[in-house]
A = this chain, B = another copy of it.
Amino acid sequence: MASDAHEPASEFSPPRLAVSQLKRIRRIVDAAIELAEAGGFEAVRLRDVADASGVALGTLYKYFRSKEDVLLFAVNEDNEQLLQILAARPPESALATERLVELFARATRGLTRRPHFARAVLRAIAASEAASAVQQAAFHLRMSRMIVAALRGAPADANTPLSVLVGSERERLIARVLQHVWFSSLIGWASGLHPIAMVTERMQETIELVLEPRE
């Protein structure tokens, strides 16, 4: 099923791509991001993406399986960047709960700074098929790494490959729970269930519930 030429820059298949091809991919992704920023998921019409990036529709489909795939790729880039930033400037508070709250506040702000784009990628994540599971997993592993780092008050390690698991059993459990709540809250925001501020607020409550002993 999962073939060879697909999934550019995936951390799993060695990139046998010429520079010109990488540039094409870049243009495709950039065009998709731009359209998504302007009008969300529906505004990303692949015909337009192809046009804007000076590429034929067929070429686009050579590199990406679907519309979701393009957006998933974009959000993974974003997320990778977040990891880099957090590695460089970790949350500074002395309290684990505060560090986590800050982590999620930053992540949420980073994502929803471009609300249309954020809604678009959330929709792409939620609707993605098994074929794109790899992308999802990468995102997940990256977030876990950041959460564990925040729990420990250590800077996140942006260099070791994602396949290396980090953290104790309990730390990984907490990381999973927080990610689930975050993701699900974001979906709720994207569906118009609640405003964005509530996402951060919910994360704060959740972090306190999970980390602090019962009152």
Binds B, one of A9-17, A86-94, A120-128: A120-128
Q: Give the residue among A130, A132, A188, A202 with the most B Cβ atoms within 10 A.
A: A188
| Minimal Cβ-Cβ distance residue in B for A194 | B133
Q: Which residues of B contact A210 (CB under 8 A)?
A: 177, 209-210
A185 sits at the interface (CB 8 A): yes
Partner of A183, one of B137, B184, B206, B213: B184
Q: Determine whether the beta carbon of B127 is less than 8 Å from that of A127.
A: yes
Known: A127-B123, A210-B210, A213-B214. A180 touches B185 (CB 8 A): yes
A129 sits at the interface (CB 8 A): yes
A187 sits at the interface (CB 8 A): yes
Q: How far is the CB of A2 from chain B (nearest CB, A)?
A: 11
Give the distance in Å from the alpha carbon of A184 to the alpha carbon of B123 in the complex: 13
A192 sits at the interface (CB 8 A): yes
Q: Which residues of B contact A129 (CB under 8 A)?
A: 191-192
A51 sits at the interface (CB 8 A): no
Q: Which residues of B contact A177 (CB under 8 A)?
A: 177, 181, 206, 209-210
Q: Determine whether the beta carbon of A133 is less than 8 Å from that of B173.
A: no
Partner of A126, one of B127, B136, B173, B185: B127
Q: How far is the CB of A87 from chain B (nearest CB, A)?
A: 25
Q: How far is the CB of A113 from chain B (nearest CB, A)?
A: 20
A174 sits at the interface (CB 8 A): yes
Q: Determine whether the beta carbon of A209 is less than 8 Å from that of B173.
A: yes
Q: Which residues 186-215 of A have a CB within 8 angstroms of B? A: 187-188, 191-193, 202, 205-206, 209-210, 213-214
Given contacts A183-B184, A183-B187, 20 further A-B contacts (CB under 8 A): A123-B126, A128-B191, A129-B191, A129-B192, A130-B191, A130-B192, A132-B191, A133-B191, A133-B192, A136-B188, A136-B191, A173-B209, A174-B209, A176-B202, A177-B177, A177-B206, A177-B210, A180-B180, A180-B183, A180-B185
Q: Which 7 pairs show the lowest CB-CB distances between chains A and B? A: A130-B192, A126-B126, A180-B184, A180-B181, A184-B184, A133-B192, A183-B184
